[in-house]
Amino acid sequence: ALGSSLTIKILSDRPISAPQFGIYSHRLGDAYLAGGASNSGGKVLAQHFPLARIIELSAAIDPTTETGLDYYPLPAVGERFPIADPALPPRLTPRPADDADYLKAMLEGIAGIEALGYRRLAELGAPRLTSVRSVGGGAANPAWTAIRQRKLGVGFLPALSDEAAAGTARLALMGAIEAGLS
């Protein structure tokens, strides 16, 4: 989920918990959704650019190349996942003169956090990442999606719905079927 924060989940056959990395699991039928929520995400982008400017600058980004900048974009000091450190400072320098390069470096940084999150999950026994489905406002940004695909190295599939209520309704239906209420 690419909203004000970055949240990642992976379907696992067992729960994965590692508070030292901000990793937790939710039961989903006979499986588990393991993952965490970073403080990085759209909120940090919005601190630097209004949405209309993000859209404009994104159109000028070449997502096939790297800026070479090593950003860890956070809206303030502190991170929850994949590094659980309340004192972790944002890393947003050096700042390129070109706004499109600055935005691109932030998008690369958030994609790097996502990749680190999936690596941490795999190190703890989660299945290997094979595909991604994204929801949230950031999922509609083609440049960001291409950067994420390059960093993650897996296919991106369309989400069945981008509404949280749709997933909740599916879970309720599964529970009703299991309980013989359907």
> Which of the residues in the chain have pLDDT under 70?
162-176, 178-179, 181-182
Q: List helix spans (H) across the chain.
A: 42-48, 51-58, 99-123, 142-152, 164-178
The Cα–Cα gap between 21 and 24 comes to 9
User: Which pLDDT does position 29 carry in this prediction?
Assistant: 87
Is the residue at 16 inside a domain? yes
Is the residue at 1 inside a domain? no
Is the residue at 151 inside a domain? yes
User: In Å, how far from its chain's centre is CA 91?
Assistant: 18
Q: Cβ neighbours of residue 130 under 8 Å, at least 6 residues apart?
A: 154, 155
pLDDT in tens, 10-47: 999 999 999 999 999 999 889 999 999 999 999 999 99
pLDDT in tens, 143-154: 999 999 999 999
| Domain count within the chain | 1
Instruction: State which residues form the domain around 43.
Output: 6-178
The Cα–Cα gap between 134 and 125 comes to 22
User: Which pLDDT does position 176 carry in this prediction?
Assistant: 62
**Half-sphere exposure of 96 toward its Cβ, with a 13 Å CA cutoff?**
14
- Cβ atoms of 135 and 9 closer than 8 Å: no
- 3-class SS of residue 171: helix
User: Which pLDDT does position 166 carry in this prediction?
Assistant: 59
Is the residue at 32 inside a domain? yes
CATH code for position 92? 3.30.420.40
Is the residue at 138 inside a domain? yes
